[in-house]
Structure 1
Amino acid sequence: MQIAVYGSSLLSSYWNGAATYYRGLLGAMARRGHGITFFEPDAFGRQQNRDIAPPDWARVVVYDATPEAVRSVLGAAGEADIVIKCSGVGVFDDELLAGILDHGRPDAVRAFLDVDAPATLAELRQSDAHPLHAALPRLDLVLTYGGGDPVVAAYRGFGARDCVPIYNALDPATHHPVPHDPAYAAGLSLLANRLPDREARIEEFFLRPAAALPEQSFLLGGSGWHDKPMPTNVRAIGHVPTAAHNALNVSARAVLNVARDSMAAVGFSPATRVFEAAGAGACLITDHWEGIDLFLEPDAEILVARDGHDVAEHLQTLTPDRARTIGEAARARILADHTYERRAVLLEQVLSDALIRRREQER
């Protein structure tokens, strides 16, 4: 299959948390013999902060963030068997969504890949004028990178023909154990950009424990935190490129995952950071959300906290040996059940079935 994807960025994780998801999933699809073309805009400084060079498994087309350039790249949609518009491109999202419907071949599958389904569904509930309302009946398929049955039911309720979660996972070639790096040493590390719908939860699950445990060290990576008041034992280091994620994950006694508000409310939405950290063998502490046990076993493969007090208690009782045991168990579980190679098998079947249905309809 020839697959065209219109997304935020494959080349840069700068203000783009979906980058490792795109790389892992699409790279695995390419290894299964499918052709990948990824269209991404030159916007938000991402091209100036690339993590990787264009990979040999995909053709990456970077276009100017102008109406003319958008129209130009949409013309290429007619060359693909599968045309996918991702959520959260950040510029010309509505035009890209309309464009894949109008420019895709009649016998091609048109799909919407939602990398923040709970937030998108909230927007659909709030506004009858949201462009996705009109687009859903025309789309062959909605894909999400999380959300479980609640998200599937919600999308079908809004008129989607089908909705299939393709969860985040691990690319073991990218995220794996490496030697400790003193530059990232900490009792607890968190990698998260500063976003309005997650900041209060980070205050609760990260900054509150830091204030309660002044004798321990805390490391915060991610963009946007430079003017945030913090306890003196928190070190904010700004954007951390993908190449440094392994070192950050292995160099702390524990690594924290904090879900965005909407994802925590819906559940069944493990962030890419969960799989990245587990793949490196880190001991993970996560805020609570429904469905954790589908991916990692609480207390054996991951530690779960319902508030900042729980995080502080975990840190006070977590020995290096127990942290190592939990991290090793998490890595084994993720390698066995949650790699992008496994996700690609599912995605390939879903897209193949949709393509067969589409071509039968066009006969």
Structure 2
Amino acid sequence: MTRRFDIVFIGLTLSSSWGNGHATTYRSLLRGLNAAGRKVLFLERDVPWYASSRDLEDPDFCTLAYYRSLDELLSRYVETVRRAGAVIVGSYVPDGIEVIDALEALGLSRLCFYDIDTPVTLARLDQGDEEYVALRQIPLFDTYFSFSGGEVLDRLQVDYGARLALPLYCSVDADRYRPVDEKPVWDLGYLGTYSPDRQPTLERLLIEPARRLPHMHFVVAGPQYPEGISWPPNVTRIEHLPPHEHVRFYARQRFTLNVTRTDMIAAGWSPSVRLFEAAACGTPIISDAWRGLDELLPENEAIVIARSGEDVCETLTQTTPERHRAIAEEARRRVLRSHTGRARADQLLEALRGLPSRSEIRSNHREMARPL
């Protein structure tokens, strides 16, 4: 492949949304880049667990290609990668450390990292766990784009040696996520893959209220939940919900629940894509609390913060239609203003434009070394 691309992403997956939050994050961002007129190549490791559950095999907003090994990546795409305006490696890429080292050796124009799991990454590095990026590699990147903002950015630069750390939150494709005419079926719903550290919050903020409000209806959609969970009879379970069904799913809920992983809560400023999707669809959100959330969606104006099951029960039973509508409208207004795929693409492009290419840096260094 010798075509020149503005940006090459090497990420976990674009083709399959099964059991991960990466695919929808990349899809929104890459659609935004396409709308901005940028040519993008996404390189994905061809692994069986995603190959068997792909829900986007031929995107119309970028070029998607697969590689089966590091050797194939380098032999088949090395010239394409070299010619790209920027190369961005994502978190959780298989053999990520080897991939990064190989790219660094190529003398690329710009090499960046996009961490869609920043708090998890840093917690792992602190424990000596270097699954997909090594501590020594963080200073190699021209920019470390982070799923998390706030204090994490300072930590990345001061404690981990990042040259430049910038926030690049997830986003929503506003053309696909919008209000639709559906009658609510469930009073409260949740969309997310099972996670042991999220499960206690799900128990407290959805399963407990379901038991206390047997006349209401609840739903949990997502894979990998253990068989031993005791679901109340008024909780509907959906094993997997592909992205093209998300809009209708949100529309059929009176409220939707956002539950945050422990590492994300500790870091703060780590919004889930589900927040932006639900808001864009006009579904009011009940969320657990974490630092930075109020800066995105102010409490009691654009979101309801629940600290207990009692808070959830009170919201479900006492919210008036006028307040329900006002919360939904304010959240949608804020998300469409600042958190669409196009807005995030513009953010990324502005950051990349501010980076001198490595060839320019090398040229400047040669000029400085010349005798006067």
Contact in 2 for aligned 1:39/1:73 (Cα 8 Å): no
* Cα deviation, residue 23, structure 1: 1.1
Alpha-carbon distance between aligned partners in 2 of 1:47 and 1:179, rounded to the nearest angstrom: 34
For residue 7 of structure 2, what is the aligned residue in structure 1? 3
* CA displacement, residues 157-207 of structure 1 (integer Å, 9 cap, x when unaligned): 21110000011222111211122167xx21101001002332222222222
TM-score by length of structure 2 reads: 0.89
The answer to whether structure 1 residue 49 and structure 2 residue 43 are counterparts is no
1:35 to 25, 39, 45: 39
Alpha-carbon distance between aligned partners in 1 of 2:314 and 2:99, rounded to the nearest angstrom: 47
Considering only CA atoms, is the larger Rg found in Structure 1 or Structure 2?
2
**Cα gap change, 1:62 to 1:217, in 2 (>3 Å):** same
Contact in 2 for aligned 1:6/1:85 (Cα 8 Å): yes
Contact in 2 for aligned 1:84/1:100 (Cα 8 Å): no
For residue 86 of structure 1, what is the aligned residue in structure 2? 90
Alpha-carbon distance between aligned partners in 1 of 2:352 and 2:49, rounded to the nearest angstrom: 32
Alpha-carbon distance between aligned partners in 2 of 1:74 and 1:26, rounded to the nearest angstrom: 20
Contact in 2 for aligned 1:256/1:285 (Cα 8 Å): yes
**Cα gap change, 1:129 to 1:340, in 2 (>3 Å):** closer
For residue 267 of structure 1, what is the aligned residue in structure 2? 268
Matched position secondary structure for 2:172: coil
Deviates more, 1:289-298 or 1:271-280: 289-298
Alpha-carbon distance between aligned partners in 1 of 2:330 and 2:243, rounded to the nearest angstrom: 23
2:103 to 69, 93, 100: 100
- Residue identity opposite 1:119 in structure 2: V
1:140 to 139, 142, 146: 142
Contact in 1 for aligned 2:110/2:142 (Cα 8 Å): yes
Matched position secondary structure for 2:150: helix
Percent identity between matched residues is 34
Matches within 5 A, 1:1-363: 2-43=6-47, 45-64=49-68, 66-72=69-75, 75=78, 76-89=80-93, 91-103=94-106, 106-127=107-128, 131-146=133-148, 148-156=149-157, 157-180=159-182, 185-225=185-225, 227=227, 228-354=229-355, 356=356, 358-363=358-363
Contact in 2 for aligned 1:139/1:161 (Cα 8 Å): yes
Alpha-carbon distance between aligned partners in 1 of 2:231 and 2:118, rounded to the nearest angstrom: 31
**Cα gap change, 1:208 to 1:101, in 2 (>3 Å):** farther
Deviates more, 1:213-222 or 1:38-47: 38-47
Matched position secondary structure for 1:49: coil
Contact in 2 for aligned 1:74/1:100 (Cα 8 Å): no
* Cα deviation, residue 30, structure 1: 2.2
Alpha-carbon distance between aligned partners in 2 of 1:58 and 1:121, rounded to the nearest angstrom: 30
Matched position secondary structure for 1:259: coil
Deviates more, 1:133-142 or 1:278-287: 133-142
Matched position secondary structure for 2:89: strand
TM-score by length of structure 1 reads: 0.91
Contact in 1 for aligned 2:189/2:253 (Cα 8 Å): yes
Contact in 2 for aligned 1:225/1:236 (Cα 8 Å): no
Contact in 1 for aligned 2:124/2:130 (Cα 8 Å): no
Alpha-carbon distance between aligned partners in 2 of 1:239 and 1:181, rounded to the nearest angstrom: 21
**Cα gap change, 1:73 to 1:14, in 2 (>3 Å):** farther
Q: Figure out how many residues of one structure are paired with residues of the other and give that number.
A: 355
Alpha-carbon distance between aligned partners in 2 of 1:273 and 1:314, rounded to the nearest angstrom: 20
- Residue identity opposite 2:10 in structure 1: Y
Alpha-carbon distance between aligned partners in 1 of 2:197 and 2:97, rounded to the nearest angstrom: 22
Contact in 1 for aligned 2:150/2:268 (Cα 8 Å): no
Alpha-carbon distance between aligned partners in 2 of 1:132 and 1:322, rounded to the nearest angstrom: 48
Deviates more, 1:300-309 or 1:160-169: 300-309
* Cα deviation, residue 309, structure 1: 2.7
Alpha-carbon distance between aligned partners in 2 of 1:353 and 1:300, rounded to the nearest angstrom: 35
Deviates more, 1:272-281 or 1:4-13: 4-13
RMSD over aligned CA atoms reads: 2.0
* CA displacement, residues 259-283 of structure 1 (integer Å, 9 cap, x when unaligned): 1111111111110000000000001
Matched position secondary structure for 1:46: helix
* Cα deviation, residue 331, structure 1: 1.1
**Cα gap change, 1:7 to 1:128, in 2 (>3 Å):** closer
- Residue identity opposite 2:214 in structure 1: P
* CA displacement, residues 234-290 of structure 1 (integer Å, 9 cap, x when unaligned): 111111010110111111110001011111111111100000000000011111111
**Cα gap change, 1:40 to 1:303, in 2 (>3 Å):** same
* Cα deviation, residue 73, structure 1: 5.3
Contact in 2 for aligned 1:85/1:100 (Cα 8 Å): no
Deviates more, 1:298-307 or 1:127-136: 127-136
- Structure 2 runs not aligned, ≥5 long: 364-372
- Residue identity opposite 2:196 in structure 1: P
Alpha-carbon distance between aligned partners in 2 of 1:333 and 1:340, rounded to the nearest angstrom: 14
